[in-house]
């Protein structure tokens, strides 16, 4: 065994590459290697001889394996060193031009909306995207038979059999944020609630996931006149056109009473939409005075407080402002589209310096 040890330790130390090292491993400790064959002879020995030879052979095998591993690591280090000698980099050379990333139009428009309403005294409120159907429907005075609560329109979360907790949904609007904010902070309040919402719909102007911003103002003497002034100020700032006219049309929403859909003045010339001029009208949002039952559900006394709420699609007004024809392209992750419609990272919207490029 001593002769075997000296033989293979010598050969391993002098191996010039990994191929030669592998040949030595097979010759020494492979299935038919010299040390492996010696270990097979243990069965022919007497118990006393095995007690001496067995541990010695195991120790020899471990030593050879350790020598093989150490030599392999040393050869790898040498190979790396040789490769690094031929692969060098001059750090003083000018860098290669790289394409810069851009801010997505949805993120940009969300920042623009936030900047405008911040100047008007509104703060931003957030809430969970998965919420109970009580916050999403019941607290907003939406009855159990309402079509919006059907599974063909709303994404319900799966529940284990026997689970008697209230069902949860992917929120269909950001209105649940208003309920949660009033529960926590009470009245008065002025907030906007931007964020992702989900509905089972998909075509050129609808996607299963999209973005909304909803606004809420609660005080003792707020009226529809305040709502009209606020929205006209917002449209003028957002579209950067002074004197945009608005038109309120009577409508019905379960969570507001009275309710109104709001149109803005526009014109269509040779297929091009222009906001703030002409004799045509374009619907942009829904609004109204908060229903007393909604205030009650949020723990606010409707005999003492009143207010208005409104909601609009962020993706849709981004399409209107920046001339984007198809809503589905917002979520295709097409770099060409993002480079064309995206915004510079430092193009931070402010009402003082201007919202857009």
pLDDT tens-place string over residues 216-249:
999 999 999 999 999 999 999 998 888 888 999 9
Q: 74 and 40 in one domain? A: yes
Are 78 and 109 found together in one domain? no
Same domain, 200 and 336: yes
**Token output for 76:** 């790898």
For the chain, percent of residues with pLDDT exceeding 70: 96
20 shares its domain with 135: no
66 and 209, same domain (yes or no) = no
Q: Which CATH number belongs to the domain containing residue 228 in this structure?
A: 3.30.930.10
Are residues 189 and 271 located together in one domain of the fold?
Answer: yes
State residue 189 phi and psi, 5-degree precision: -160, 155
pLDDT of res. 139: 93
> What integer best gives the mean pLDDT of the chain?
86
**Residue 218 maps to a domain:** yes
Please check whether residues 69 and 146 belong to one and the same domain: no
Q: By residue range, what is the domain housing residue 50?
A: 2-86
Task: Kindly report, residue by residue over 96-153, the tens digit of the pLDDT.
Answer: 777 778 889 999 999 999 999 999 999 999 999 999 989 999 999 998 888 888 877 8
Domain match, 278 and 136 both: yes
Which pTM value belongs to this model?
A: 0.67
* Same domain, yes or no: 284 and 324: yes
Provide the pLDDT for residue 176. Answer: 94
Whether residue 21 is found in the same domain as residue 114: no
Contact between 198 and 209 (Cβ < 8 Å):
yes
**What's the number of domains the chain is made of?**
2
DSSP 10-73: HHHHT--SHHHHHHHHHHHHSTTSHHHHHHHGGGGS-HHHHHHHHHHHHHHHHHHHHHHHHHHH
pLDDT in tens, 58-102: 888 888 888 889 988 988 888 888 887 787 777 777 777 777 788
Q: Are residues 76 and 113 in the same domain?
A: no
String of DSSP letters for 266-321: EEEETTEEEET-SSEEEEEEEEEEEPHHHHHHTT--TTT-EEEEEEEEHHHHHHHH
């Amino acid at each position: 065994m001593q002769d075997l040890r000296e033989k293979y330790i010598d050969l391993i130390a002098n191996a010039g590459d990994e191929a030669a090292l592998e040949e030595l491993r097979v010759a020494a400790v492979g299935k038919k290697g010299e040390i492996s064959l010696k270990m097979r002879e243990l069965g022919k020995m007497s118990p006393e001889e095995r007690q001496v030879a067995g541990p010695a052979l195991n120790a020899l095998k471990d030593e050879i394996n350790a020598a093989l591993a150490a030599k392999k690591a040393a050869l790898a280090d040498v190979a790396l060193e040789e490769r690094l000698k031929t692969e060098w980099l001059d750090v003083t050379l000018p860098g290669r031009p790289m394409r810069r990333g851009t801010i997505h139009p949805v993120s940009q428009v969300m920042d623009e909306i936030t900047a405008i309403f911040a100047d008007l005294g509104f703060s931003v409120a957030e809430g969970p995207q998965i919420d109970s159907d009580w916050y999403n429907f019941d607290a907003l005075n939406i009855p159990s038979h309402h079509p919006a609560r059907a599974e063909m329109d709303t994404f319900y979360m799966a529940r284990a059999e026997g689970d008697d907790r209230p069902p949860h949904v992917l929120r269909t609007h950001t209105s649940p944020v208003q309920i949660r904010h009033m529960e926590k902070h009470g009245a008065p309040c002025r907030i906007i609630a931007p964020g992702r919402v989900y509905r089972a719909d998909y075509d050129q102007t609808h996607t299963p996931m999209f973005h909304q911003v909803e606004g809420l103002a609660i005080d003792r003497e707020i009226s529809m006149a305040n709502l009209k002034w606020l929205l006209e100020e917002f449209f003028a700032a957002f579209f950067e056109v002074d004197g945009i006219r608005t038109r309120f049309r009577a409508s019905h929403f379960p969570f507001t009473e009275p309710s109104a859909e709001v149109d803005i003045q526009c014109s269509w010339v040779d297929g091009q939409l222009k906001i703030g001029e002409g004799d045509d009208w374009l619907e942009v949002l829904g609004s109204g005075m908060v229903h007393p039952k909604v205030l009650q559900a949020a723990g606010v006394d409707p005999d003492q407080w009143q207010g208005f709420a409104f909601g609009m699609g962020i993706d849709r007004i981004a399409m209107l402002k920046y001339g984007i024809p198809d809503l589905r392209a917002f979520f295709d992750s097409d770099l060409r589209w993002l480079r064309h419609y995206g915004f510079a990272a430092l193009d931070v919207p402010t009402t003082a310096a201007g919202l857009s490029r």
